[in-house]
Structure 1
Amino acid sequence: MRKTRGLRGHRFAAALAVTTLTVLGVAACDSADDEDTPAAAALAWGPCPAAAPGVTRDPRLTCAKVKVPLDYGRPDGTTIEVGISRLGAADPAKRHGVLLLNPGGPALAGLDTPGAMAPTLPKSVLDGYDLIGFDPRGVGTSTPQSCGLENPSVAALFPYPAADGSIDANVQAARATAGKCAAQAGENLRFFTTANTARDLDRVRDALGEAKISYWGQSYGTYLGAVYNALYPDRADHVILEGNVDPAHVWAGEAESWGKGMAERFPDAAAVAASQNSALGLGATPAEVTQAYLALVDRLDQRPAPVPGTPQSLSGAMLRSVTYALLIHNDTLPVLAQVWKAATDLADGHVTEADGKVLTQVFADSPATPGVPADNQATMFLALTCGDAEWSHDVGSYAQRTAADRKTWPLTAGMPANIWPCAFWPQPAEKPVAVTAEGTRNTLILQNRRDHATPWDSGIGLRHALGNRAAFVGVDNGGHYVYHEGSACADNATVAFLDTGRLPDKDLDCTDVTRQ
């Protein structure tokens, strides 16, 4: 597995934690905090907090804290801290400003994102910008929140139905999880939202002493960037949104797009497995591999397979989550084919030495960041997806929608339409921010055609919402990331925008993808 692109070449176990988004319809705008914020005191830059074991941190990074209101409706009330990091512009004489970076999630920490992104960027960008990372409110070093969940994995939240399609257990689990968050994290969790995170970014802008900020958001970070651009259109300089959320579908509607997205992306992996049929025996064509996969997850739904040397068993839901994670990158598709082979052998009761090595990676624990609760990302995933916009509370309706989704999109087994803890969540603290075409033309949208995490349709939805504010770069590629993934057409447009501020005159259709 290639590891030359920082976060994008993440360890296998880390890939399982990077779940990437979902979304429900956007209501009318209620953009609080329109007034200028008071001038901030000088930031105290210093060493960054301890990283998780095994994480390589760029030694040039320095870190600081910015105090922000917990509730922007009470700006003089309780405050929380937001951790930020900085990789300074290489040539101060050519410095254009700051470029804030967000890796998505929802709820991924971002202090190390500047160091991870820097090797992929040309000298012109590194000369021209301070790269600024941040842990969003409630995440990592930024007043981290916890529901006290026994299983800290975000993937464990994905509500796959039972083998027979029943969602009774999902309803019970969703109710229990929502209740646990209410009891453990309390009322304050309602203020850990995307809108408030965007307001935090403006406090960061002020603390940095900048009139404007540039921003690059990936995955969930596209929604955060779109919300910031809506709340503060005069303070956003160059905005890049990569792997996009449709703001009209935040968040239940975005989740329901996963079935179609998986159907569009899965054939890429099936083709890789088919090309290795002599070694893997999963099928000679993508269609045969797909049928073998569906039969395998069905078997594991009915009878999870114990994993030798561990107390765990491989279930259909777990294999689907691993598949989702490894579809995010093209360079992990061969690894995914090996996982399917190992899972097949495990279900058949004869595990080879090679299978054992693959399964060891699957069940490896992700390293914990010192001082951060183990369930922090899962907690904040729920806080954002449940707290940004209201979900249906009609429990009975979920079974019908799940059954229909399960039939239409068998690869996701009805999970995207199923009930989440959001059905039992308190009413959001405010309505979603309206993302519209009003404002400066300052946004570049990067979108792959076969992105299962934020599908093509979601990118088109954001394109329509932003209208003439944006230029759209569509790439004939699979996976969740666009920049530095083999398209010179997309890369050149991105760098030109950062260097000059000029967007393409018209939307681009990039078909020049080469495998790296």
Structure 2
Amino acid sequence: MVVPVDYGKLDGRTTTVAISRVRAGDPERRRGVLLSNPGGPGAEGLDSLDLLGDVLSPEVLAGYDLIGMDPRGVGRSGRTGRCGWPVGEMIRSAGVDLLGFAHDTVQSAGMAASCLVRDPELLRQFTTRNTARDMDIVRSALREEKISYYGTSYGTYLGAVYTQMFPERGDRIVLDSAIDPDRYWEGLVQDWGPADEIALDDWAGWAAARDDTYRLGATPRQVRAGVEELVRAAARQPIVVDGFAVDDHWLPFILHGMLMNYRINAAVAETVRELADAAGGPPTRSRSPRLAAIVAALRDGENSTLAQIACGDSAAMTDLGSYWRNIEDSRVTQPVFGALASNVEPCAFWPRPVEAPTVVRNSVPALIVQATGDPRTPYAHGLRLHQDMAGSRMVTLQDVRIHMTFRPGLSACVNEAINTYFDAGTLPESDTTCHADPSTP
């Protein structure tokens, strides 16, 4: 589809948005379209069947066209190409000292400039509000009065913004692992710090019970102490794996990415064990495919689309001294992740957003699903969005450390609530608590 770059200039430049459609399994039972977003910001969303095909019930698959969409600036929807970043991610820890923070500050400024030097007019329009407008163009192009929607992680922010901007256009809205719009983007990242520390403690208990296998410590305290020492060791001498230096900036980021799913506890333990074995030694090659993939992404990839959308959506602090003070203040209670959650990002050097962030306060019906142990979108975010969307119901997945709850074999209770809503349009009569299935590993 062709859409305006700037919806305030409908006769100006245009860009394209790519969508996909998997038609409803039973045309006679078809009730509409179900659009989805897998998160990010910056994740490609065309493959709606891969995201939802193994968790939606046969009845829902029969009744909806599944609509995938690459948001503007992402994938086949006008991604601008690489900015030329020296590292793959804009999110990383400031490290253990002021010198590390100074390094990240200079690097972040360069990362922002290298993106904006080419076409700032275009990049500044890669915003969630514009993507919501694009979604409504999709709805109109498909000749639908309303759209149903499933969004996870960042997709919940996009969905919430859509309900605020187009309150009459949403049909059955499911927001899985929700972001509090008032905390997006910088506030969300800050909230990762304490949530990641809790997740680390939870994993440390699991690893301590398996000390015979992983040799990371016989008690949770020993496991945590070992991780904290490994970060300090990586600061003294980076752990070079597959040509990439895993140092005190990147080790917390690697852990942050892995701790959001208890189902990969063993992979976390194997990764920590592998890095601990390599610490203080010569450059080495990765032993596990998972670590190899992580290192390759940091060494060779570039997630600049995240910056283009997040920085375009929400203004960040520009007082560099405040970042450092926040980092130092966080170290006592957040020894591993405080310097990541409070670190400077390219957003500090980005132009101010072209529009103010959307304030979400509405009564549009929606189903919000949140795990209490989610470190990526902490539980408090779901509670706050539930309050702000007065017509919503909330399903809590209790005592589970996981991000994205709509998964095969995780909780039949969660899956039933979501499928029932999409199929029958029935929200729970009241907020509901679910648990992981007993057979879940």
TM-score, normalised by the number of residues in structure 2 = 0.93
User: 1:242, 1:482 within 8 Å by CA — same for their partners in 2?
Assistant: yes
Matching residue within 374, 397, 400 for 2:322: 397
2:244 and 2:299 in contact (8 A); partners too: no
Post-superposition shift, 1:82?
Answer: 0.5
Partner of 1:312: 244
Name the structure 2 match of 1:427.
Answer: 352
> Would the alpha carbon gap of residues 329 and 149 (structure 1) be closer, same or farther in structure 2, given more than 3 Å must change?
same
Structure 1 position 151, deviation (Å): 3.6
Q: CA 1:500–1:171 in structure 2 vs 1: closer, same or farther (change >3 Å)?
A: same
Give 2:110's match in structure 1, choosing from 154, 170, 176.
176
Give 1:280 deviation, angstroms. 1.3
Is the CA contact 2:253–2:340 (under 8 Å) kept in the aligned structure 1?
no
- Taking the aligned partners of 2:249 and 2:36, their CA distance within structure 1 comes to 32
Letter in 1 for 2:417: A
For the residues of structure 2 that align with 1:82 and 1:420, how far apart are their CA atoms?
A: 28
Of residues 275, 295, 313, the one that matches 1:363 is: 295
Deviations 1:54-78 (A, max 9, x none): xxxxxxxxxxxx1111000011211
Q: Distance in 2 between matches of 1:409 and 1:422?
A: 23
1:148 alignment counterpart: 83
When residues 427 and 357 of structure 1 are mapped into structure 2, their CA distance, relative to the original with a 3 A threshold, is: closer
Residue 45 of structure 1 corresponds to which residue in structure 2?
none
Provide the residue aligned with 1:502 in structure 2.
Answer: 426
Note if 1:345 corresponds to 2:268: no
User: Which secondary structure state, in structure 1, belongs to the residue aligned with residue 117 of structure 2?
Assistant: helix
Partner in structure 2 of residue 371 of structure 1 = none
107 and 152 in structure 1: CA distance in 2 versus 1, 3 angstrom threshold: farther
Distance 1:115 1:367 in 2: 27
**Equivalent position to 1:447, from 350, 370, 385:** 370
Secondary structure of the corresponding residue to residue 340 of structure 1: helix
Residue identity opposite 1:493 in structure 2:
A
Taking the aligned partners of 1:496 and 1:311, their CA distance within structure 2 comes to: 49
Equivalent-residue separation in structure 2 for 1:212 and 1:192 (angstroms): 24
The change in CA–CA distance for 1:253 and 1:396 in structure 2 (over 3 A counts) is: same
The secondary structure found in structure 2 opposite 1:337 is helix
**Are 2:95 and 2:249, in contact at CA under 8 Å, matched by a contact in 1?**
no
- What's the secondary structure of 1:342's corresponding residue? helix
Q: 1:511 aligns with which of 429, 435, 441?
A: 435
- Which residue of the partner structure matches residue 478 of structure 1? 401
Question: Which residue of 95, 104, 107 corresponds with 1:162?
Answer: 95
- 2:414 matches 1:490: yes
Residue equivalent to 1:85: 20
For 2:262, the equivalent position in structure 1 comes to 330
1:114 maps onto 2:49 in alignment: yes
Distance 2:243 2:286 in 1: 20
For residues 19-43 of structure 1, give each alpha carbon's deviation from its aligned partner in whole angstroms, at most 9, with x where no partner exists: xxxxxxxxxxxxxxxxxxxxxxxxx
Measured against aligned partners, the alpha-carbon deviations of 1:222-242 in whole angstroms (never above 9, x if no partner) come to 000000010111110000001
251, 276, 279: which is aligned to 2:213? 279
Structure 1 counterpart of 2:413, one-letter code: C
Q: How does 1:177-196 map to 2 (within 5 A)?
A: 177-196=111-130
Return the alpha-carbon distance in structure 2 between the equivalents of residues 263 and 269 of structure 1. Answer: 10
From 233, 237, 258, give the equivalent of 1:303.
237
Deviation at 1:351, TM superposition (A): 9.9
- Indicate conservation of the 8 Å contact 1:447/1:459, yes or no: yes
Aligned residue type for 2:188: E
CA distance in 2, matches of 1:105, 1:360: 22
Deviations 1:114-164 (A, max 9, x none): 23421222101111111111100000000112452234623xx11421332
Shift of 1:346: 0.4
Q: Does 1:458 align with 2:381?
A: yes
Q: Quote how far apart the aligned CAs of 1:355 are.
A: 4.0
Unaligned stretches of 5+ residues in structure 2: none
Q: Residue 21 of structure 2 contacts residue 65 of structure 2 at CA under 8 Å; is this kept in 1? A: yes
How far off is 1:354 after superposition?
8.8
Structure 1 pair 86/187, CA: closer, same or farther in 2 (3 Å)? same
AA matched with 2:104: N
Residues 298-354 of structure 1, C-alpha deviations (whole Å, 9 max, x = no match): 1112210233xx322322332222222222323221111100110110015399999
SS in structure 2 of the partner of residue 257 of structure 1:
helix
Question: Is the 1:222–1:243 contact (alpha carbons within 8 Å) kept by the matching residues of 2?
Answer: yes
Is this contact kept in 2: 1:146–1:184, CA < 8 A? no
Q: Against the structure 1 CA distance between its residues 492 and 367, is the aligned structure 2 distance closer, same or farther, given a 3 Å change threshold?
A: farther
Please give the alpha-carbon distance, in whole angstroms, between the structure 2 residues aligned to 1:259 and 1:300: 20
Provide the C-alpha distance between the structure 1 equivalents of 2:184 and 2:204, rounded to a whole number of angstroms.
Answer: 30
The one of 128, 146, 150 aligned to 1:216: 150
Q: State how far apart, in whole Å, the 2-side matches of 1:361 and 1:183 are.
A: 30
In the alignment, which residue of structure 2 is the partner of 1:293? Answer: 227
RMSD over equivalenced CA pairs, Å:
2.2
Write out per-residue CA displacement over residues 97-117 of structure 1, whole angstroms, 9 at most, x where no aligned residue. Answer: 110010001110011132342
CA distance in 2, matches of 1:286, 1:130: 48
2:311 maps to 1:386: yes
TM-score by length of 1: 0.80
Counterparts of 2:13 and 2:25 in 1: how far apart (Å)?
Answer: 38
Q: Deviations over 1:448-483 (max 9, x none)?
A: 11111111111112112112x100111121110111
Count of matched residue pairs: 437
Matched, 1:138 2:73: yes
Counterpart Cα distance in 1 of 2:202 and 2:259: 9
Query: Is the 1:165–1:403 contact (alpha carbons within 8 Å) kept by the matching residues of 2?
Result: no
Distance 1:367 1:282 in 2: 27
Stretches of structure 1 that go unaligned for 5 or more consecutive residues are 1-65, 369-373
